[in-house]
C-alpha cells in the first residue's frame, strides 16, 4: 500500500478487502474496502478489543444485537466497546465503502 487511503483500491468487487496499516501489541489500524458486502444474518462480531471506525467514502450501517442501528456516511465515526455484539447490515454498492478501523485495548 502506498500512503494514500484512496489509492490502489482493489479491483475485485466480489469480496471485502481488509488491509492492516499498523499493528502493535495494543493497537491495529485497518483499511477496509467494501463493495456492498455485509455480515451474515446469523453472525455477530464479539471482539476482545474496542473498535473506533470511520467511513471515508460510501456508506455503511452498523447494527447492534440490542436493535440499535447507525448508518455512517462520509466522515461519520463510531466507537464500539469490546464485547459489544455488532454486524454490518449495509454497505453502498454505487461506490466503494472505505472504512478506517482502529482496534485498541485499554
Q: 3-state class of 76 per DSSP?
A: coil
Q: What's the mean pLDDT in 21-43?
A: 96
6 DSSP 8-state letter:
T
CATH number at residue 53: 2.60.120.10
In a domain, 6, yes or no: no
- Total-model pTM: 0.93
49, 102 contact by CB (below 8 A): no
Number of domains the chain contains: 1
Q: What is the pLDDT of residue 3?
A: 86
The β-bridge relationship of strands 77-80 and 86-91 is unpaired
In a domain, 40, yes or no: yes
CB within 8 Å of 5: residues ≥ 6 apart = 31, 56, 98, 100
> Residues of the chain with pLDDT > 70: what percent?
98
Given strand 77-80, what is the order of strands in its sheet? 17-23, 27-34, 97-104, 50-57, 77-80
In a domain, 11, yes or no: no
Query: For residue range 54-63, what is the model confidence (pLDDT) as tens digits?
Result: 999 999 999 9
In a domain, 76, yes or no: yes
Among 30, 29, 34, smallest CA distance to 9 is for 34
**Cα(73)–Cα(2) distance, integer angstroms:** 24
**Cα(106)–Cα(88) distance, integer angstroms:** 24
Amino acid at each position: 500500500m502506498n500512503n494514500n487511503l484512496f489509492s490502489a483500491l482493489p479491483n475485485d468487487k466480489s469480496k471485502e478487502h481488509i488491509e492492516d496499516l499498523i499493528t502493535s501489541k495494543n493497537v491495529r489500524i485497518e483499511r477496509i474496502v467494501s463493495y456492498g458486502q455485509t455480515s451474515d444474518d446469523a453472525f455477530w462480531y464479539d471482539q476482545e478489543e474496542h473498535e473506533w471506525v470511520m467511513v471515508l467514502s460510501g456508506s455503511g450501517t452498523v447494527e447492534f444485537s440490542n436493535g440499535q442501528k447507525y448508518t455512517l456516511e462520509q466522515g461519520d465515526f463510531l466507537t464500539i466497546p469490546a464485547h459489544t455484539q455488532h454486524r454490518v447490515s449495509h454497505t453502498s454498492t454505487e461506490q466503494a465503502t472505505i472504512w478506517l478501523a482502529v482496534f485498541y485495548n485499554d
